């Protein structure tokens, strides 16, 4: 299948996950979608066939403003890492923007996953209220950091399984993934230009972080959009 066909199939699988009231069915559809992305990414036939189209580029991903920016970046970073993409960010008049360097097909998957997972986290965060708006905002921020950490673990597990399956197949052969990752790093070093380290984000509340970490364990990985759900707003 082409990259476009895979993303279309992923969206169909996750539409089924959205439509069912059975959590186990939803998780099964979601796991299949995530596995499909991982397996397609390392398919030697796809890499040979689409070599010319799979170019290195930089994708801009808006991060917005406010207390949740660094947690959103943590989520995007967790997803980018599993696709051997490089990430930096900057602040401007319109808020923070992430710059993600990598192969085009990998970046397509990164963006689909990020937009989906951020919306899913937001739908859960929006239901939480604490004693004050400031306390609510601190809890939600910590939740998103914990959510991001767990998503990174889940996606790394999916990737390892896909690579193990490719190695065990008699007719399968893994592409040179370290070499591809090194190409991305070399490209990013030129494309990003001068980069400086940002200050570490302020600590997250332990209770909110733990809650977010648990919530991400059974999330619908790869869901493309959830138009009926609320985005993260102020802690009111």
For the segment 57-95, what is each residue's pLDDT rounded down to a tens digit? Answer: 999 999 999 888 999 999 999 999 999 999 999 998 889
**Domain spans in the chain, listed from the N-terminal domain onward:** 3-168+176-193+200-218
For residue 94, CA distances in Å to 23, 61, 176 come to 38, 12, 39
Reading the block at residue 118, the tokens are 């951020």
Name the residue among 62, 178, 71 with its Cα closest to residue 122: 71
Do residues 109 and 80 lie in contact, with contact meaning Cβ atoms separated by under 8 Å? no
* Confidence (pLDDT) at 172: 57
Distance of alpha carbon 173 from the chain centroid: 26
Do residues 177 and 84 lie in contact, with contact meaning Cβ atoms separated by under 8 Å? yes
* Confidence (pLDDT) at 20: 67
For the segment 123-168, what is each residue's pLDDT rounded down to a tens digit? Answer: 777 777 888 888 888 888 888 888 899 888 888 888 888 888 777 7
């Amino acid at each position: 299948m082409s990259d476009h066909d895979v993303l279309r199939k992923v969206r169909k699988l996750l539409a089924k996950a959205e439509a069912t009231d059975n959590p186990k069915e939803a998780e099964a559809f979601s796991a299949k979608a995530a596995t499909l992305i991982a397996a397609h990414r390392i398919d030697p036939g796809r890499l040979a066939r689409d070599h010319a189209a799979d170019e290195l580029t930089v994708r801009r991903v808006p991060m917005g403003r406010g207390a949740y920016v660094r947690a959103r970046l943590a989520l995007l970073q967790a997803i980018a890492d599993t696709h051997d993409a490089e990430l930096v960010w900057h602040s401007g008049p319109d808020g923070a923007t992430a710059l993600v360097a990598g192969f085009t097909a990998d970046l397509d998957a990164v963006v689909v996953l990020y937009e989906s997972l951020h919306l899913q986290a937001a739908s859960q965060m929006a239901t939480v209220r604490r004693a004050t708006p400031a306390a609510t905002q601190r809890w939600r921020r910590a939740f998103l950091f914990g959510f991001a950490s767990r998503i990174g673990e889940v996606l790394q597990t999916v990737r390892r399984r896909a690579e193990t399956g490719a190695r065990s197949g008699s007719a399968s052969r893994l592409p040179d993934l370290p070499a591809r990752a090194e190409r991305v790093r070399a490209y990013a070093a030129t494309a990003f230009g001068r980069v400086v380290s940002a200050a570490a984000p302020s600590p997250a509340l332990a209770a909110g972080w733990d809650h977010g970490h648990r919530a991400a364990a059974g999330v619908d990985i790869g869901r493309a959009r959830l138009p009926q759900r609320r985005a993260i707003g102020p802690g009111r």
